[in-house]
Structure 1
Amino acid sequence: MSLEFVLATHNAKKVREFQRLIGERMPQAVVLPYDGPEPVEDGLTFAENAFIKARTAAEHSGRIALADDSGIAVDVLGGAPGIFSARWAGESAGDEANVQLLLGQLADVRRPNRGAEFHCTIALVVPDSVLAGGHEFVAEGSWRGSLAYEPRGSHGFGYDPIFEPEGLEVTAAELQPAEKDARSHRARAFVELLPELERIAARLEG
């Protein structure tokens, strides 16, 4: 029996990354497209925002929903942009504007003070219509590194072109997708989530 769920995002690049992560680790799972509303993310933590999105998607679709909330935390900025990473340069700003603003804010900061960390929280929401009583779960993953002085690489999205993972001399955007999938904050959160997905699948089969 396959496990079907919606991924609460309209970000095509994030969908492809999740499809790779899930396909490699849980091939019986099916990621369905989500065409529902995007709620206001007014939570104060990654987990709160992830659950806002997952609950909205589960209610709209009547299916199991996954949602991630992720961002980059820069040491010298006290953990910012954090939950505001996707809109650091403004509500309608894109990846390039966000990256350029962050680089400008760190223009005078030299190594080794450019430390940063990617963080990902994945929320799982199973509605009562799928499993009696419903069910919720949260998984988290982090990826430590530092910020480059300028963007490099054509893979990935968001802040990947300026994030240099710890122990590597390349940015996340210079890694091949399979390499990133083996190391990233999202991959680490999904590894934590996987046993829960398998338990849900077993309960549905039973």
Structure 2
Amino acid sequence: MTNVVTRAGESLSARLKAATRDEHERTESSSFIVDLVGGRLDRDAYAALLGQSYLFYAVLEQAGETWRDDPVVGPFVSDALVREAALAADLSWLRGAGWRDTLTPLPATRRYVDRLRAVCFDSPSAFLAHHYTRYLGDLSGGQIIRHHLRTHYGLTEDGVRFYTFDQVGKPKLFKDGYRGLLDALPWGADEQDRLMAEANEAFRLNRAVFDDLGQANGAGPTPS
């Protein structure tokens, strides 16, 4: 596979990582996530996170099915990444068979879902921006979160299946391959810029969900 070098002389994957670094770090430092991985919240707070996540992953993965056969974006759509069933299994274990009956989207989750529906079914760069921010995050920082959840909340496999990628043999190799696909995208500067802008928007939407979860579950205020 031949890498496409961008106008800045860097690969697209390197530019995307650099362009989203600030928003990514702000999202990672959300007080809700810091308190959750520090063991200062409870299982209900974690279950609330999974419930809100189920709502936006379901939409993102619906969009993925519409792009599966696309020659450019289709290669990113992998069954190894799909999270909806894992989230449902975790929620069933944590909250019981009737978990769907108690699932109410927070205001920030509604905005997130609305954005996904508005852009991910029609724009390849928007779909890929949200796909990138979710799944590469799950394969990176998500694995650290999984370790802390197992330590602080007494979880083993049940309850943390969301963070378990059974079909991904070696996450680093998988992520390297994903970045290689990014670098080979035949997109000009305008489409690349749209990708980066939407990826930053994805991080902001995600952080807003964390903020709503924090307010609902007694986490401290997120640093500005």
In terms of fraction of residues, the more strand-rich structure is: 1
TM-score in same-fold range (> 0.5): no
Q: What TM-score do the two structures reach when normalised by structure 2?
A: 0.30
| Structure ranking higher on relative contact order (CA contacts 8 Å, 6+ apart) | 2
Bigger helix fraction: 2
